[in-house]
Structures are given as structure tokens and as C-alpha cells.
Structure 1
């Protein structure tokens, strides 16, 4: 059977520049070393021949693993008949980097340190890089100091091991070694562009220690006071790990094309920064007491958007603000569990999604105390421009927050977030300068609210539905009380919550986005927790929260969705929205009155 671990088998490594996935069996099956959205040198995640780097005992055994507390440094312990050995994996931080410096000048080095615990364990290393998502098979060259250089196209990789004479065998490196109790062997794999500076050279043990200290610096400055602190801190660490520090952009997920349904074609590239996800991340990091760099992160958003005119505000950007993210298929890749196509790029950048400005303005309002009494010019212009665009376009149909690719509709949640945009813009007006028009914004805001209340309600269904005039339920209706459009105790909203829970909910705490959705959507499940808490049902909300927690993997990681039959994780991973949902739901259980 082809190598195909479950999505939940993967652990997440990050240096806040790039990310890697390492399976329970010790195989690094995904690494895009230059940036989160750059071409992968290991893509076995999407094709058995896509490249990997495995270190594991020759003899099979029991595996247990955990992150070092408040880090994305992963320690996997293999218990075999020969003894026990630990493999610690990390993406190296720059020497001396601490906290929010992590990722500014990351050396693009993957560290793997093998430590003998008991007995004497025979280990096997299998290194098969395949740059450009498996399109390239590199030349391998043995180096005098015992390492191996791999070169192909624009990529140079150097693999080294302390005290290990590594040699290539054709297009890969295979190496067997023994580790006794108390013995440590370190490996480092360094990336660089083929025509620039050479790959960095690090001592794996020293670099690993530095990386742990860099992550631990976050713990020293962030203090979350609410319920479920361990889970919140894990999710906040994941969100930090998905942040591209150089610009402040937050990747929606680490991966591309992990399917929403096995064998299906809803396989999209999530390695970019959606403005909606970015704004929700800012709120979640505020809850988790991590808002320290709000000004810089909003500066990224303002510069990426640029001056706002008549065209819709783009939905997503590349990590340094690139706008054209045109989609293409990688026909040479089989896809995860033969789920094709595999896509690079995301054509959602062309869509109109009316809720996006509201998400961004709401995030500015949430963090305005960190942004100063007078906003910087670019931030003022962004908020005013977004508010003006909402005021002039809210009557148009759009693709909605689920980014449908069929036709535009008048989505209820989109209109409600247009209301949110103008409501928060009115509140921010004293900081927005002479171009602010709070009187007109307030009038349009009130018109939007009246329209949603009138057109979004379906008397026969007894709920606010997905779109005006539709009888189709949509879990995005749960977002209305979450953002304050309606209180959860409003009779119609209370009815909507119950109808969605009954018709779209499942016995194991999951909520589908719509009736034909084949999987539970983790974010929507956490929205239901928030709604129940705000509706005065704290025990029911807490019980549901505990159920959803049970769908995380052993490291506390969530993909986008959960299969209703098998309970397997589906979709891109780790998914920022899922972890955002956890953080906000935990805080809502702590303080249901929070706005």
C-alpha cells in the first residue's frame, strides 16, 4: 500500500517563514522552505513520489509525541523491541531571535536530533528531495565533510549529520546508524537559492536549543486568563506559527489541495493570507493576549490592499502582498488519497466577497487601543476606503464567505458583515480624519440592518437562511450573534440557532455548513458553542465544546473539517480558522458578554 498517513498523523513545524509536516512514522512529507507558499521540496503529502525525509527505527514499535510546551518543536518517542529513542524536529530560528523576532531572518534549516533513551536502537534515514512539487530530481554530491549537496533548478539543499558519513545512492541518501542510551546524533538540512548565498551551516544541538528559547519567549509575555488555557495556548501558538513574520501576513493553512472529501475535487490552495482570516486571527490573538504587533500587521493589510477604488477589495493576497494568485493544476501529482486536482494558486482572489471589508474594520476597532489616538495615514485611508466601498456596494450579490464558484447571491452573512463594517467605522470616525462620514455611514448601516431582518428571515423554516429568498440553511447564520448583529437571545435568532443545531448539527458535536456538506466544519462547530453560551445555555455550550475538542489530533491540531462517518480530519491543515474558532469559543465560555 502506498505511503498515505491520515491528515491527523502530521505534526506542524514552523519558523514563521515556512512550515513542514512530519508524520508519526518519522517522515517529513511537506516542506516549502522559502515561504509558506513557495514550491515544496518534499511533497509526498500529495504524491508518494513527491519527495520526503524519513528518520525512524528499523524495528516498528509504539509511538508517542508531544510539543515542547508553547513551541512548535516536536518530540517523538519510538518504543521498539531494541529500546527507546526520541527524535526532536524543528525549523531553526535565527541565533539570538526571541519572541516576535522569530521568522525575521530564519535560516531555512530543518533540524532533526536523535536521542537514545534506552537500549541500542538501529535507525534508518531515507532522504529523497524532489523540488518544484516533485517535478525535479536533483543531482546529489557527496561533500568532503560528510554531508550531501542536492541541486536542482533554483534549489540547493545540504544535508549533514554530526559524526555521520552520509553518502548518496543515485537520487537519494539512505543511511543506517545506531543510537545507544545517552547518545545524541543531530542532523540539519539547509536550504538556499541555487544562485545566491550558500545554505546556512548550524550545529543541530545548539540551533535546537536556540529555537526552543525563541518560542518560549512568547510564553513569557502572553497571559491568557480564561477557561481552557492549555488548548488556547496551543491554538495561539499554531496561529503564530502560520504568521509570516517578515510582513505580518497570516497563512490560512500550511498546505494546498488536501481534500474536503476524499476523492473529491474541492481541493484548494490555502497557503495565502485571506483578509477575513487575517482579521479573525487578530481578534483571536487579542483574546489569547498576543496583540503586541497590531500596528505592523495592519500596515501589511493596508499596503496589500493599496488605494481603494471602484473594484472589489481583493479577498486574499500572497504573503508579501501579491495580488494575482492565478490558479493552475499540478497534473503530475496524484493528490492526497488520489483526490485531484492538485492546485497551486487560488482563483478566489478574483471574487467579490462583501463581508471582507467588515472583517478588517472590525479587527481595527477591536485593537484600536493598540493603534494610537491618531491612526497612521495608510490605516486611516484603508478604513475610510473600506467603509465607502461597503456603503456603495452592499446591495450587490457576492460569492459569500464559503467562496462558492457557481453564482453570486445575496448572502445573509455578507450583508450582516456590511452592517458590521459601517457600525464599527462610525465608532472609529474620530480617529479617521476629515474624510470620515459617520452620519452617512450610520444611515446606510441602519438600512442594511432593516433589509437583513426583512429579507433574510424565512418564516416557514423558522430561521435566517443562507441567502435572501432561500429556504436553504447555512451555518454562517451563526455568525450573526457572534459579531453582534443580533443578540443570541432574540427570538428569531434563538430559533435560528436551534434549527441549525438540529438540521446541520451531528451527534458528535460537529456542524455542517449546509445540508449537502459531506463533513463537519470545525469553525462552525465552535460558532455554535459561542451562540449557546450567549443564549444563556452555558452547560450545553461547554459540553459541545468538549466534544469538538475531541476531534483534534494528539498534538491539538485541527484541519478544516471532520469526516462524519470515520471522524478523520479533512481539508488543509493546520487550519487557522479552526484554531481561531477554538480560542474565541473558549473565551465566550469564560465571558459570554464579551463583544
Structure 2
């Protein structure tokens, strides 16, 4: 069987898991009950064996997908020579069901707009990444699939029957104009068939998303103008990827979608990476989603508390912990034949120095938006910063998680400087604590000197990938002005931007991650987030027209629904890597915000000391400046 392009999928979810729904009406990926759980449908990774849940016309059709306005409720409309029908797909959020912890469920409403129209339904669950083929049997209002430890119940007001093999179910039905039918898939337990109740659940789900979604009424918007709708869609994608109980952000809801077809760079991204932290906080807070930003702030503090500073893992499970061993599922052929298919991620054991800066920066950003830390939190943060002082000069695997030998990556050192810098700024503004500020300041100066002397190449006129390199670039160094290490107009920043444009960027606005060996065969495709870092760096540097042009170029690769994967094939323009990717959507929001700043927002630049919040434990503050909560951009306007 054939595979869909990634841009032909929409995504739905409930804060626990997600499903990818193809424009052809097929749910080809859905892990249950959680996004990091084994899949029930995985045709995305093996079109023949993976399993799917499809609804489509029996005759030739055209189709189009759209989201209901400012929601994650997806509509797929089919048009044939004889009629038109729409399938509405959604997963109810707990708030929309009246239950604090409802069982996971996928609702599919079939509506014939113009008929009659014949549809086929195929229900082929395959539990545990298709390692288990369940028995499918009839029940009162549908069918039930039963495995050794899994159970999925499909309720419907359509005549669905088990297949002759007993391992699937199907139906062919003809709908008349204005006729509506329901398919409701429950995991573990069924959802009783009740069309009136299902209509109410749909409305509550729509209401939930529209009440949550950013709504500026078209005036004084932080991301107004032509990028507004894509930024709002990106925030809705992020919300789908935020675990509703822990607040952890899933990097992507899929595993093993390849960075290049036929290659081996296929990873499981269904976990929470610390590297996303600071930019996630800013993106959520600036669009008014302070509860989610607050939850992520608390999660960052929890990460600091739960581990010895020397053993902080760069990636966590959405429920905490990092015990997800990387394994290969060799019974699946992989997306379009791209093996291996992996579950788990070996990056959990890597030493990545940049995570310390990203943790402290995320905490710092959250405090700027009104959060507060206690004296107990301070003790943990001080231990973390002390560890940076002791170990900043070690080699590590870096932000790109290379599988070659550790190196002295420049970006890792920049983030060590960031941990020290933000820790010092927070300590200087607080009373009641006694951190070793002089040692921190001395170390910050030492790190800065090392970066400028060993991380910048006069030959290349650019920051390089690692100490000792003279001519190897890394797009992560575009973050140097974004985290405030140097001013955007510094010649070394401008040189790094120009070198990136010359050697890592394509003519179509895309940016490859780095040059040099990473311990893996083959090459990867340009990354979306690095392309958006270039936009932000250009905007900060005052090169606004260039930034806007490149931003528009990157956005052309978004799917018709506004979704972005991890990477883009520079030859075909197809999206590559796991999909949709949180980092890409975070980059889109922050790129739009940076362009808004460059157009005249009153927002302070990243290298300017900014106000931060306080609570009773931080009541006595440095008298040299007034410390207040930094308002969101929408509040400033």
C-alpha cells in the first residue's frame, strides 16, 4: 500500500494522546492510552501491517481538510461525482466530558452533505506497535477488539461486522443527503452509543478549544497581520502536545519518521526535551496562555529538584523519569521503507551541558512573567549553577545529540554562560539568599572569555561548532544574540549570520543544522526550527526585510492545515521527520513575535535586564532598580 505525504495529515488529541488523520480519511497513527504508549494504529510506519481506522468513499474522490475555527476539531470533506460528505474527527478533552479522567476516545461523525454517497469503513486495530493482532467480535452496537492486555471498542449506529479472518471489521454504507452517523472508538472501555450525547460532547469540545485559543478580536495583537493565523494554529498544536496532568511538552507525537527517506536518522520524539523549555515559556506567555507557561515553569523546577546536578537527563518521559530504553522494532518496514523504527531514545543517557542553561533560562523567563521561586527552589538552583561552575569546560554531546565522541561544543558553552548570567541576575534582584556571587561572576567571565577566544574563528568570521574548529559551522550559534550573550549588532554575531546564510542556508529559506561528523551515516534534511532561528537573529540584528522574506519562505512549507514537521526535504519540499514538531511551532511563534518587536513593539531586547516577579520569599529586592512583573505583549499594548 502507498504512504501519504506528512502534509496530508491533520492531528487531533485530548491532552493524553493524539491521532494522525489522513486527508484520505484514515487514522494511520494513534498510540493509546498515552502518546508514549504503544500504538493501536501504525499504518504510518508500515502501510500493510501497522493497522488503520479508515472512512472514505468507495468511488474516486477529492478531499480537503480544515480545522473548525480556533479548535483542534478536524473536518475532512470528500467530494465524488455523486455527492459530498464530511467526517468530523475529535478527541474530547476532560473538561468537555464532565469527567476528570475520561477513558481515551476518538469520535468520528459522518455527515452526508449531498447524496446519496457510498462510504467504506475499515477498522483494523493492531496492538503493541502491530506486534499483536487482536480478535475482533460483534457486540450490541459495534465491535470489540481484544488482545492479551489491550481492548478497543468501536460503537456505531452503522452495521459494522467482523471480517472473515476475525482480526478486523468493515462496513459499506450509503448515506442520504443530511444523514449523520457516528463512529466512537473507546480504549479499554466503550463509549455507549448516544448520538444526542455525542453532539453535546462535540459542542463542548469546540467550546473548550475556542475558549482556550488566543483571541485578540483583530486589534492590538502580539502577532497581528499576515502571520496571525499560523501563530494561533501553532499555539493549538502546542496545546495538543502538552500533557494535561504533568504540563510536559511532547517534542512530537510520532516516532521514527525519517529526517531523510531511506536513512537511519529515525528517532522517537514522544518525550519532553529540556532544550524546548525557555522558548516554550515565552511562546505560551506572549499569546496569553499563562497557565500552561506556569505549569511548564513548575516542571522545570521539578527537574532541578529530582536529580543530582551532575545527572540531569536532557529528556524526560511525559510522566517523569527517563527509563525509556531505545529499542528497534524490526518487524515494521518504516515510513516509506525507512528503517529502523525505534521506540525509546538513547539521548536520555547523554551528557548535554546546554540543558543547564535552558533550565535556568526557562525559570528566569517565567519569573519575568510573574512566577516566583521559594527559598527551597533557590537552594536547588544554586546547586545547579554551582555544578555549571565546576563542569562547564567538559566535552558533551551537544544540543544535536551527536552519536560521535563528545566535543567542546560552542553552543553548550554559551548555555553554560546563560545559566550563570541569569542566575546572577536573579540573585542580584533577591534578598534572603546568599549565593556565591563573586565565584559565579568570575566563572561567567571565564566562560565568556573562552567562547570568544576559542569559539570564534577569524578565518570564518563566525562562531564555529566546537573549540578547536576553524571552519565548521553550527546553526545553534544563531542563538548567541537571542540569549543575550552578545548584542545583535556585534560584528561576531553579524559574521555568524552571514556565514550561516552562505554555507548552511538554502535559497528557499531553509537552514541545515551543522557541518561535520556526528557519528551517523547519511545526511539530514534542513531543520525548520534552525530556519526560524535565522529569522529571529536577522530580526534582532535589524535586518527586518531579510527576516520577513525568510519567514515567508519557511511558512510556505507548512501543510495546508498550518502544521510543521521537524525538517524539509530541500529537493522535493516535502516535510520530513516527526510530525507535527513542537520545536518548529515554538520557533514559528517566536519568529513572529521577534518580527513584531522589530516592527516597533515596546518589548525589551533579549540582552536587556528585564523585570522579574517575586513572592514573600523574595520580598527584599535590590534597590538599584524597581522589580515588577513583566507584562505580556498583549497587556503592554
Q: CA deviation at 1:540?
A: 1.3
- Partner of 1:493 in structure 2? 493
Deviates more, 1:292-301 or 1:242-251: 292-301
Question: Deviation digits for residues 12-71 of structure 1, max 9, x if unmatched?
Answer: 111111011011111101101211100100011111211100001111222111111221
- Partner of 1:27 in structure 2? 26
Q: State the alpha-carbon separation in 1 of the partners of residues 597 and 97 from structure 2.
A: 35
- Partner of 1:425 in structure 2? 423
Please give the secondary structure, in 2, of the residue aligned with 1:70: coil
Please give the secondary structure, in 2, of the residue aligned with 1:451: helix
Q: CA RMSD in A?
A: 1.9
Q: State the alpha-carbon separation in 1 of the partners of residues 106 and 445 from structure 2.
A: 53
- Partner of 1:167 in structure 2? 161
Q: CA deviation at 1:556?
A: 0.4
Q: State the alpha-carbon separation in 2 of the partners of residues 531 and 88 from structure 1.
A: 40
- Partner of 1:315 in structure 2? 314
The answer for unaligned runs of 5 or more in structure 2 is 517-522, 599-603, 607-637
Q: CA deviation at 1:105?
A: 2.4
Q: CA deviation at 1:276?
A: 1.2
- Partner of 1:363 in structure 2? 362
Asked if 1:76 corresponds to 2:76, the answer is yes
- Partner of 1:387 in structure 2? 385
- Partner of 2:185 in structure 1? 189
Q: Please, which of 398, 401, 411 is the counterpart of residue 400 of structure 1? A: 398
Q: CA deviation at 1:381?
A: 4.0
Q: Please, which of 144, 166, 182 is the counterpart of residue 149 of structure 1? A: 144
Q: State the alpha-carbon separation in 2 of the partners of residues 222 and 35 from structure 1.
A: 33
Asked if 1:285 corresponds to 2:284, the answer is yes
Q: State the alpha-carbon separation in 2 of the partners of residues 382 and 214 from structure 1.
A: 37
Q: State the alpha-carbon separation in 1 of the partners of residues 423 and 527 from structure 2.
A: 30
Q: Please, which of 118, 121, 128 is the counterpart of residue 122 of structure 1? A: 118
Q: CA deviation at 1:206?
A: 2.5
- Partner of 1:337 in structure 2? 336
Please give the secondary structure, in 2, of the residue aligned with 1:520: coil
Distance 1:166 1:308, change over 3 A: closer
Alignment of 1:200-219 (within 5 A): 200-201=191-192, 203=194, 204-219=198-213
Q: CA deviation at 1:77?
A: 0.9
Distance 1:491 1:370, change over 3 A: closer
The 8 Å contact of residues 56 and 125 in structure 1, kept in 2 or not, is answered as yes
Q: Please, which of 212, 222, 232 is the counterpart of residue 225 of structure 1? A: 222
Question: Deviation digits for residues 118-168 of structure 1, max 9, x if unmatched?
Answer: 121101000000000001111112112x21111102211110113x12221
Distance 1:382 1:80, change over 3 A: farther
Q: State the alpha-carbon separation in 1 of the partners of residues 377 and 246 from structure 2.
A: 15
- Partner of 2:410 in structure 1? 412
The 8 Å contact of residues 287 and 584 in structure 1, kept in 2 or not, is answered as no
- Partner of 1:558 in structure 2? 564
Please give the secondary structure, in 1, of the residue aligned with 2:85: strand
Asked if 1:504 corresponds to 2:504, the answer is yes
Q: CA deviation at 1:199?
A: 3.5
The 8 Å contact of residues 156 and 199 in structure 1, kept in 2 or not, is answered as no
Q: State the alpha-carbon separation in 1 of the partners of residues 15 and 314 from structure 2.
A: 22
Please give the secondary structure, in 2, of the residue aligned with 1:292: helix
- What TM-score does the superposition give when structure 2 sets the normalisation length? 0.88
- Partner of 1:94 in structure 2? 94
The 8 Å contact of residues 186 and 205 in structure 1, kept in 2 or not, is answered as no
Question: Deviation digits for residues 146-204 of structure 1, max 9, x if unmatched?
Answer: 21111102211110113x12221121111011222211111100002xxxxx3443643
The 8 Å contact of residues 473 and 515 in structure 1, kept in 2 or not, is answered as yes
- What TM-score does the superposition give when structure 1 sets the normalisation length? 0.94
Distance 1:499 1:484, change over 3 A: same
Please give the secondary structure, in 2, of the residue aligned with 1:240: helix
Please give the secondary structure, in 2, of the residue aligned with 1:367: helix
Q: State the alpha-carbon separation in 1 of the partners of residues 215 and 574 from structure 2.
A: 35
The 8 Å contact of residues 532 and 551 in structure 2, kept in 1 or not, is answered as yes
The 8 Å contact of residues 304 and 381 in structure 2, kept in 1 or not, is answered as no
Asked if 1:133 corresponds to 2:129, the answer is yes
Asked if 1:571 corresponds to 2:571, the answer is no
Q: CA deviation at 1:364?
A: 1.1
Distance 1:443 1:545, change over 3 A: same
- Partner of 1:543 in structure 2? 549
Please give the secondary structure, in 2, of the residue aligned with 1:267: coil
Q: State the alpha-carbon separation in 2 of the partners of residues 432 and 106 from structure 1.
A: 45
Q: CA deviation at 1:371?
A: 5.1
Please give the secondary structure, in 2, of the residue aligned with 1:481: coil
The 8 Å contact of residues 380 and 433 in structure 1, kept in 2 or not, is answered as no
The 8 Å contact of residues 309 and 384 in structure 2, kept in 1 or not, is answered as no
Distance 1:61 1:485, change over 3 A: same
Q: State the alpha-carbon separation in 2 of the partners of residues 289 and 34 from structure 1.
A: 29
Question: Deviation digits for residues 450-509 of structure 1, max 9, x if unmatched?
Answer: 110111111111211111111211111111111111122111210110111111111111
- Partner of 1:195 in structure 2? none
Question: Deviation digits for residues 528-554 of structure 1, max 9, x if unmatched?
Answer: 111111111111111111000000010
Q: CA deviation at 1:221?
A: 7.0
- Partner of 2:173 in structure 1? 177
Distance 1:74 1:136, change over 3 A: same
Q: State the alpha-carbon separation in 2 of the partners of residues 485 and 259 from structure 1.
A: 34
Q: CA deviation at 1:233?
A: 0.6
Q: State the alpha-carbon separation in 2 of the partners of residues 27 and 372 from structure 1.
A: 43
The 8 Å contact of residues 304 and 384 in structure 2, kept in 1 or not, is answered as no
